[in-house]
């Protein structure tokens, strides 16, 4: 397909067939293929039986997972790769199979991206600004695993475990994963989450699994209009929300955070943030397309944007910290 000595088409072909990979991985997650392998079903027949799927389907998914490097095949037996064992077996804190299912189900929306690119307006069937939507029951727990390590990093940096009787406000907290991690680290703390009622109900169940539900409190409402309070919290958390908001909205929300935090308190922002020259983690680079697909004014914002907005909101100290994940932490005081 290319002239001798010219570039090979492999990378382009891999990207072209990316939808195949997403569908294979999503199908494996939905039917528990990696779970079956982890529990000892190491042949196609055993996987088919354990998962309740056809032998032909099991073989196709196993071939695909092997081609993707997530499963190995030797002497007629299949084994999970370390990545599959860590991220694709249900019940593990880092489980990403739910996210794989969400992405698979959203592929019809991604086919509408050319329309969003042309108009600059969202073209997906499910957008990010609908409160009472069944979609949240799927998405909220699915993306929780992305925030586990980041919440732990932030807790260590802020000394949450030894901070005594503290409280925080997590705005748009989703699954409640930040409160689950921080409440687990500090037995004297109390976490408050402001989110839509349907999302808070999901969070109560999620946080309850960590045995800290008695110190997790929810505030039902739209954070655009609900009062954050004044000098009430030691910390505030704004995780994976700024990318859904316009610059003006983020400045206004940061001003309200500034009022809500006690003197000397810290606002923690967690998001997919690009460098000032719009380079960065590949996932964050791709995420801008997700935002124009599903939001009216959201985007993948730069470090310079956060510095400007937080400065306008009255924060004097702004520390931007990369993490081993696609997300970046911002600590503002």
Instruction: Output the DSSP codes for 53-105.
Output: --HHHHHHHHHHHHHTTSEEEETTEEEE-HHHHHHSSTTSTT--HHHHHHHHH
Distance (Å, whole) CA 225 – CA 238: 16
Number of CB atoms found within 10 A of residue 3's CB: 6
In angstroms, rounded to a whole number, what is the distance separating the alpha carbons of residues 269 and 242?
A: 8
Q: Which stretches of the chain score pLDDT less than 70?
A: 1-3, 126-139
Q: Which residues contact 262 (CB under 8 A, 6 or more apart)?
A: 231, 232, 233, 234
pLDDT given at position 107 = 93
pLDDT computed for residue 144 by the predictor: 84
Rounded Cα distance, 186 and 307, in Å:
30
pTM given for the model: 0.90
Question: For position 5, what pLDDT does the model report?
Answer: 80
Provide the strand spans (E) within 190-322: 190-195, 216-220, 233-239, 261-271, 318-322
* Dist. CA 281–CA 285, nearest whole Å: 6
Q: What is the CATH number of domain 122-332?
A: 3.40.50.150
User: Of 76, 50, 80, 55, which is closest to residue 65 (Cα–Cα)?
Assistant: 80
Predicted pLDDT of residue 130: 52
Class of domain 10-105: mainly alpha
Of 267, 280, 257, the closest CA to residue 330 belongs to 267
Ordered by start, the domain boundaries in the chain are 10-105, 122-332
212 close to 187: Cβ distance less than 8 angstroms: no
> Which DSSP state fits 264?
E
Backbone angles phi, psi at 132, to 5 degrees: -95, 80
């Amino acid at each position: 397909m290319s002239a001798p000595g010219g570039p090979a088409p492999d990378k382009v072909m891999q990207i072209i067939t990316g939808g195949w990979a997403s569908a294979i991985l999503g199908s494996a997650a939905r039917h528990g293929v990696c779970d079956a392998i982890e529990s000892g079903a190491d042949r196609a027949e055993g996987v088919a039986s354990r998962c309740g799927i056809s032998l032909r389907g099991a073989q196709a998914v196993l071939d695909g997972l092997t081609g993707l490097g997530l499963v190995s095949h030797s002497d007629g037996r299949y084994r999970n790769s370390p990545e599959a064992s860590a991220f694709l077996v249900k019940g593990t804190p880092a489980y990403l199979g739910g996210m794989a299912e969400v992405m698979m189900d959203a592929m019809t929306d991604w086919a509408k991206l050319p329309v969003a690119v042309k108009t600059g307006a969202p073209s997906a069937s499910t957008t990010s600004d609908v409160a009472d939507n069944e979609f949240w029951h799927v998405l909220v727990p699915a993306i929780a695993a992305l925030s586990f390590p980041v919440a732990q990093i932030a807790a260590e940096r802020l000394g949450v475990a030894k901070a005594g009787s503290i409280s925080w406000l997590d705005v748009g907290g989703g699954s409640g994963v930040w409160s689950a991690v921080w409440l687990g680290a500090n037995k004297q703390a109390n976490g408050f989450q402001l989110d839509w009622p349907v999302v808070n109900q999901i969070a109560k169940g999620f946080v309850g699994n960590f045995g800290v539900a008695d110190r997790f409190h929810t505030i039902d409402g739209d954070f655009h209009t609900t009062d954050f309070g004044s000098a009430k919290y030691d910390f505030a958390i704004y995780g994976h929300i700024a990318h859904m908001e316009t610059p003006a909205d983020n400045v206004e929300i940061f001003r309200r955070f500034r009022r809500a935090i006690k003197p000397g308190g810290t606002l923690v922002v967690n998001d997919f943030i690009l460098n000032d020259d719009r380079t960065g983690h590949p996932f964050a680079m791709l995420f801008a397309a997700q935002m124009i697909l599903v939001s009216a004014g959201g985007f993948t914002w730069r470090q310079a944007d956060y510095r400007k907005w937080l400065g306008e909101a009255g924060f004097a100290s702004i520390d931007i910290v990369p993490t081993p994940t696609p997300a970046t932490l911002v600590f503002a005081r």
